[in-house]
Chain A
Amino acid sequence: MSKVMTKTKRVPLTGAEAVAEAMRQIKPDVVAAYPITPQTPIVEIFSKFAADGIVDTEVVTPESEHSAISIVTAASASGVRAMSASASQGLALMVEVLPATSGLRLPVVMAIANRALSAPINIHCDHSDMMAVRDLGWIEIFSENAQEAYENMFLAVKLSEHPDVLLPSMVGLDGFIISHGVEVVEIFDDEVMHNFVGDRKPHLSLFDFENPITVGPLQLTDYYFETKRQEQEAMKKALKVYLEVGKELTKITGKDYPYFEKYYLDDAEVAIVVMSSTAGTAKDAVDELRKEGKKVGLLKPKLYRPFPYDEIREALKNLKAIGVLDRAYSFGANAPLYTDIRNALYELDKRIPIQSYIFGLGGRDIFKHQIKDVFNELLLGKITKEEKCIGLRE
């Protein structure tokens, strides 16, 4: 693999630039994306690649996100690789078509610069956009930093296009925090990365005139259920295929791609569960508390849909207390990630106290000392049934 390493470069990039780089190496045939803060740089950079002939992609400038997702869905049904990107209200506008894309089993991949949903209108980071669409049959992967966002794009394409899966996926990166923050990103060799995803081998195409097909018929009460069961089965297979695809990527990058990252978790007494950029801050908090001799740990989910219940339960089963930090409400119910973690732990003989926290909505910053406070609360056993908010002014 030394041949690979020499062609690797380490460059300062924003998360958006890293995603655009990934798209450049993936070489989609069609890209249609409508600009929305904070995803706009992804669209702009990729359009410049196309204008300079750096990519051969047909870039379409749709007049809304609904048209953007319709264009890539139709292009995918025509047998080409199609990608898009959006955020917040854009993703919300796409919602009419999202279950159609997954229902028709088309492997579209989208980057989502996670941003709060209106109202009130807010352009900053939270997870309410991807949480709102978590039940629509799309694979969801959350990224901690620009490097992960870059690598997750390749995982998503190979996972989606796998013949056992054939489901669309979205890769989330925190809006502004990651999308606009500059980090040093390791970009691997163009040819190696493209060969990792390869060219799409479509399972169907509207342009096969020898075997013309009808895509998207009306299914009534007698067949709809079966088609949806097939989708759920594909999600189950995606759990397995995700690890297989990760192992292939490890051969290039040298890193591992598990369902979630464990940080000082194996011998921890208490731990927090948190996704994306906040996990980075939390790792610093863990380091400091460990120096003080406190046995704390972190679990950072990456693959959110399909959700790896069994593996999460295995990882968390020996803890004395867990705090789950959600960057989105599920109004009128328990927070999304908290709900999934709690469900995962149901089968355990002994109930572990879990505290639900809401933080960071609308881009409200979360600081290391606040996370340390959370750990200290957990260590003191201060766990309640009520949702707690971090950094909220009462």
Chain B
Amino acid sequence: MEVKTIRDLAQLQTEQGLKFVAGHRMCAGCGISSILRTVLSASKKKVVVVNATGCLEVVSTIYPFTAWNTPWLHVTFVNAGSAAAGVETAYRALKKKGILKEEVDIVAFGGDGGTYDIGIQAISGAFERGHNFLYVCYDNEGYMNTGHQRSGATPFGASSTTQPAGKVSFGKKEWRKDLVKIIAGHNIPYVAQSNVYNTMDMFKKAQKAFEIEGPKFLNVLMPCTTNWGFPENLTMKISRLATETNFWPLFEIERGVLTVNVKPKERKNIEEFLKLQGRFKHLFTEENKKYIEEMQKKIDEDFENLLKLEKVTHEEGVRI
């Protein structure tokens, strides 16, 4: 059946059953289940999931309870990319010998820790070798499972436990890595950025990815109620604000051509996103508000740049 709306998607999932079940120990209000059920239902084949150590791996498989209703592998923190490459290679070997009859999609999940930082080498190597799998990064902008240590994905100005705001520091001094561009540089067919509030966006991107052969990457923002410091019922609201303020634009790069999926007519000010979160509370003082201005400036510049890239890749044959 063709899935055009979230009602269609709910119908598909009701018929298919879920590959990730309740009984996991996610913090109340966490968005990861929404990402999982959406992405995994986009596959038309059997799915094998490979997971790096992190929030998802830890809370979904506390022995003897596993929330996974599909085959699942976890090796260590560093190797979601290379373990997925290993499963994919075994799949090819078994298919070649005619031992395995089913068609399988392989999906690797990693947090921003296991993707931007410690796991980036494994992903880079696997992508360069062209293994056929989808890598989904659930980006909660820090090492959240271990209590909010800073990662390469932590945004400018955020206070984390390893780079906290204090009398002489305003939190993270550095801008976060643009991982999507790094991954796009690997000559792969599909890279996209999505957000947990936008179910259909995630679904369409996952669906597109599953229909392509080769390495694919999906970067999904996932606000963390525990460590970003907001009440647990606001997860989706904050996720939506991230896109409405252009803090987290939704776009995709298909074979070098960039398309921006959501263009707010009038973008909201970044303060609306920041003021709801405890990790940015310290920025709302006289001496620190200049950092909010810096942030707003960079967000606007980056979004302008994104729109320009969209134009030149669509109209002038430029490729990312």
Interface residues of B in 40-90 (CB under 8 A from A): 46, 48, 50, 57-58, 61-64, 66, 68-76, 78-79, 81-87, 89-90
Contact of B93 with A30 in the complex, beta carbons under 8 Å: yes
A97 at the B interface (CB under 8 A): yes
B91 at the A interface (CB under 8 A): yes
Which of A63, A67, A206 is the one whose CB lies under 8 Å from B48?
A206
Least CB separation from A62: chain B residue: B125
A2 at the B interface (CB under 8 A): no
Name, among A57, A97, A213, A215, the residue most crowded by chain B CB atoms within 10 Å (CB to CB): A215
Bound together, the chains give a CA A212 to CA B75 distance in angstroms of 17
Contact of B89 with A58 in the complex, beta carbons under 8 Å: yes
Least CB separation from A207: chain B residue: B100
B124 at the A interface (CB under 8 A): yes
Which of B62, B83, B128 is the one whose CB lies under 8 Å from A71?
B83
Which of B68, B84, B89, B93 is the one whose CB lies under 8 Å from A214?
B68
Contact of B82 with A66 in the complex, beta carbons under 8 Å: yes
Residues of B within 8 A of A80 (CB): 90, 93-94
Interface residues of A in 36-77 (CB under 8 A from B): 56-58, 60-64, 66-68, 70-75, 77
Given known pairs A66-B79, A207-B102, the reply for A71 and B85 (CB within 8 Å) is yes
Given known pairs A214-B68, A218-B58, the reply for A223 and B100 (CB within 8 Å) is no
Given known pairs A58-B93, A60-B129, A62-B125, the reply for A74 and B86 (CB within 8 Å) is yes
Which of A61, A212, A215 is the one whose CB lies under 8 Å from B129?
A61
B96 at the A interface (CB under 8 A): yes
Contact of A62 with B82 in the complex, beta carbons under 8 Å: yes
| Shortest CB distance B18–A (Å) | 13
Q: Interface size on B (CB < 8 Å)? A: 46
B179 at the A interface (CB under 8 A): no
| Shortest CB distance B183–A (Å) | 15
Contact of A217 with B66 in the complex, beta carbons under 8 Å: yes
A373 at the B interface (CB under 8 A): no
Bound together, the chains give a CA A217 to CA B60 distance in angstroms of 8
Residues of A within 8 A of B319 (CB): none
Which chain A residues have a beta carbon within 8 Å of chain B's beta carbons? 29-30, 32, 56-58, 60-64, 66-68, 70-75, 77-80, 82, 96-97, 100, 104, 206-209, 212-220, 223
The 10 closest A-B pairs by CB, nearest first: A74-B86, A63-B125, A217-B61, A78-B90, A216-B74, A70-B79, A71-B86, A67-B82, A70-B82, A74-B83
Q: 29 A-B pairs, CB-CB below 8 angstroms?
A: A29-B93, A60-B129, A62-B85, A63-B122, A63-B124, A64-B125, A68-B82, A70-B83, A70-B85, A74-B73, A74-B84, A75-B86, A75-B89, A75-B90, A77-B73, A78-B87, A79-B90, A80-B90, A82-B86, A206-B71, A206-B87, A207-B91, A207-B104, A209-B102, A213-B72, A214-B66, A218-B58, A218-B61, A218-B62
